[in-house]
Each structure stands twice: as C-alpha cells, then as structure tokens.
Amino acid sequence: MSESRPIVGIMQRRSEWNRVMRCWLALSLAACASIGERVPPAGEAASGGRVVLGPMVGHVTEQTARIWVEVDRPGRLEVALSSAEGDVESGSTRVTGLAGGIALVDVGDLQPATAYRASFDLDGVQLAVEPEVAFRTFPRPGSPSRIRIALVSCARVSWDSIQPAWHAVAAEQADAIVWLGDNGYLEHADSARPADYTSVERIEYRYREIKALRTVQPVLRTMANYAIWDDRDYAGSDSDRSNPLRPEVAEIFERYWANPAYGREPGLDGIYGRFALGGAEVFLIDDRFWRDPDSLSDSPAKTVLGGAQKEWLKQALAASEAPLKVIAIGHQVLADYHQWESYAMFAYERRELLEWIRDQRIEGVMFVSGDRHLSELMRDDRPDLYPLYELTASPIANRPFVTGLELPNPIRIGGYAAGDSYGILDLDTTVPPGRLTISIKDTAGREVVRHEVALDELRFEDESPPR
C-alpha cells in the first residue's frame, strides 16, 4: 500500500473564501442538471461523503496508476485496485479541506498489461461510483505490444452540453487519451459577463464544467487521461506569454489533470511532460506559456516553446528508445496552407526543430495536434529526412469548419470537416518492423480516414546509426 500526498500549491493554499467558491462552483454545476447532461453520477457514503467530480484515471505506467478524484468532505481516502487474478494494491491520501477537495492517489506494485477495477472508501466507508473505474496498466516500454491512443480537442460545453461523440471515444477502449487543448473553453466577454479568463474563479468553473459532463465519465474512468492546453483553455483566442494570470491558470491546469509532470518547476515553467506506452513515447508540448505574440515579425528569437522547454524536448527525444515518438501540441506544425495559428508563424523555430531531428538522426517522430475545427492527416516529405506525419484531430464538440478542406493543402492525405471527429493511433510492434495505423473517426465511430505506416518508413535510409 502506498501513501500519496494531496495536491499542494497556490490553489490548495487559498483562503476559506476560495473553499466557499469551490462549493459555489459545485452547486452551480449541479444546477445545470435541468438543462443538460452535466452532473456525473455521485458516489455516496453512508456517513454522507460524496464524490463531487471524477474519478479520473491519470498517468499510468506498467506498474503504477494515478487516480484523480474530488470528494466533498475531509477524511482519509483510499483507492484499491483489484485484478481478475485476485491481486489487490492500494494507495491513500488525506483530504484536509473543510469542504473536502481534490486528491491524487498513486497506486504502485501493479502488473503490466493487466486489467484493474477501482474501489474507493472515505474513512473506511465505501463510495459507490457508477460507472466504475476500470482500465489496463500499460505494457512494459519497448516490449512487443498492441496499443491504442485516442486524440481529441476543442470540447466546448456552451456549444454542446451533451457532446455525444464521447460515446464513440469510450467505445474505442483505448489505453490512453491525449486531450490536445481547448479542453473546455474560457469564453470571451459578452453583454452579461466579463471574459472567463480574467477571473480565477471563472477559469476554475470552466475546468470543472467539462469534467462534469455525463458523456465524458466513461472516458475519464476507463483509460489513462493526459492533457495539454491551447489558447482557449489557457486564456483568450491566440493567447501567449503576456497572459497576466498564467501562473494561476497553470496551477488550475495542474489541479484538474493528472499528468506525470508539469515542466521543470510546476506552476512556473508551463505544463509540458512525457509518457511512454508500449512502443510509443508521447511528448506533451506547451504552446502557450512561453509563446511570443503571433504578431511579432518572425526571427530566430521568436519562440513558441521558450528556451527551457525546447532544450528539454531535444534532450527527451535524444534519450528516447521508443520506435514511435509522438509530439503532441495544441496547433498544427507542418501546415503552411492557411492564415490561422500554426507553427508556420514561427518558421525559424520550426525549421530549427526539424533540422535538429534530421541532424541528430532522431527516428520515428510524428506530430499530433488540434485547434483547427477539422481533422486531417498530412505527410511532409523533406530532403534528407524520412516522411513526417501529422494528425490533426478537431473538434470533439464545437462548430466544424465545414469548408476548411476546400483550402488546398499539398501535403494532405485525407481529412474530415462535416462534423465532430477524433483521432486514433494504433501501434502494433508484435511483428517487425511494427505498424502504425492512423485513423480519423466521426461521432458514430466510423472510420473516415485510414492510413497505415510501417515503422521502417520512419527511419533514415542510409546505414548510419539512429538515435
């Protein structure tokens, strides 16, 4: 049994006023039950304890799992994970807030590639949680395996308070899901209220809002959830490092997700990190915290990543032994065909990164992105480099850019813009050289784009040793 510590930081050290605000936020979400599907089934304890949000499966490895949950009163919270073989491991933490609070519970000593079910108790009284938390641990990194990663972005509750596409995502039974930004929307000002991103309380409300959707619950509870942000869950449209609340919104992001890490110094360095899953390693990129304004003239100094994150990414890619290295970022990387936000606005830094991959002979790199309100798969053939693929998956619940694919894109393989959609990466390394299947699916789970890539296609052609 492992002992976990509750989340600490700025958000947990708030005054009693902010504890009251969290109660108000929860009551506000509950009040939405009559107009939408926003309140998850709650776990009730005989002593009156209740699950307020979640639970959510966060970072998973072959031996550990991180569980995120919010309860409505203080006490000792224990999470037990049970396998079909009868193995039981548990972890616990103490929730200390007067009105309860959010807890992260880490459970260790698990078996690789094994199905587990979770049970929860608060001060020894079991909480009945429906739907249940049931997921699989990851296979050992580098071991022959078949893994599936789901990709989503742009989930706007004010546009769609039901969001039925999550049913199809849950049915994929993915090992992990990467939320690629705009995971809930900080709304702009209107005649009735100021902009969400000017208020810590409103930002937190929007982060809670998406987690309260009924349709999201099976996704939160049956696969490992990882997230990055883009502009609309960081601040306003096309936002950058000038956001006056960027330390606060970073703390809120860390509070409501359960990634393995958040930069080199949580709350002060952005929200980047990485995780390994079978034959893949995923690099979670922060495209906002250190971002220069888009409007600046492009130059070698203009940056999306910032110096520390750029150096971290290079070191992490160089150290990775995964045959597939997935760089996940909020906006498109390879696209040059449109005027909206993309790495094309930072052409010097993009060229620096791609030339570094070429010069250091980093094999197996691909990109995944969101933001565009359409989904598309691109293949970019560059001199002295293997083909670079990018899958954009957007939106899961927002207005689709139905004419977006009418814009010519010379590197587009296929796309979908008729409605909501999501992406799937299936990686099979059980038979050499390994095979990656990249899919775009509609809200019914129908495959609208499919492309298969042999992993040796993502290697340099000469005999020089890769990295």
Domains of the chain: which residue ranges?
A: 2-136, 146-458
Q: What is the pLDDT of residues 316-335, one digit of tens each?
A: 999 999 999 999 999 999 99
Could you tell me the pLDDT band of residue 19, with boundaries at 50, 70 and 90?
A: very low
Does pLDDT of 44 surpass 50?
A: no
What pLDDT, on a 0 to 100 scale, did the predictor assign at position 40?
41
Strands 273-277 and 280-284: antiparallel
Does pLDDT of 34 surpass 90?
A: no
What pLDDT, on a 0 to 100 scale, did the predictor assign at position 463?
56
Q: Percentage of the chain with pLDDT > 70?
A: 88
Does pLDDT of 41 surpass 50?
A: no
What pLDDT, on a 0 to 100 scale, did the predictor assign at position 18?
43
Q: Percentage of the chain with pLDDT > 90?
A: 85
Phi, psi of 248 (to 5 degrees): -70, -45
Does pLDDT of 254 surpass 50?
A: yes
What pLDDT, on a 0 to 100 scale, did the predictor assign at position 347?
98
What does the pLDDT average to over 339-353? 97
Q: What is the pLDDT of residues 58-92, one digit of tens each?
A: 999 999 999 999 999 999 999 999 999 999 999 99
What pLDDT, on a 0 to 100 scale, did the predictor assign at position 99?
83
- 327 vs 428: CA distance, rounded Å: 19
Does pLDDT of 193 surpass 70?
A: yes
Instruction: Let me know if domain 2-136 sits in CATH 3.40.50.720.
Output: no
What pLDDT, on a 0 to 100 scale, did the predictor assign at position 398?
98
What pLDDT, on a 0 to 100 scale, did the predictor assign at position 31?
39
Does pLDDT of 296 surpass 50?
A: yes
Could you tell me the pLDDT band of residue 51, with boundaries at 50, 70 and 90?
A: very high
Does pLDDT of 137 surpass 70?
A: yes
Strands 75-83 and 65-71: unpaired
Does pLDDT of 16 surpass 60?
A: no
What pLDDT, on a 0 to 100 scale, did the predictor assign at position 467?
57
Q: What is the pLDDT of residues 431-457, one digit of tens each?
A: 999 999 999 999 999 999 999 999 999
Q: What is the mean pLDDT of the chain?
A: 90
Nearest one of 430, 390, 433, 368 to 176, comparing CA atoms: 368
Does pLDDT of 32 surpass 60?
A: no
What does the pLDDT average to over 82-103? 93
- 258 vs 65: CA distance, rounded Å: 10
What does the pLDDT average to over 40-57? 70
Under CATH, what is the fold of the domain 146-458?
Answer: Purple Acid Phosphatase; chain A, domain 2 (3.60.21)
Does pLDDT of 14 surpass 80?
A: no
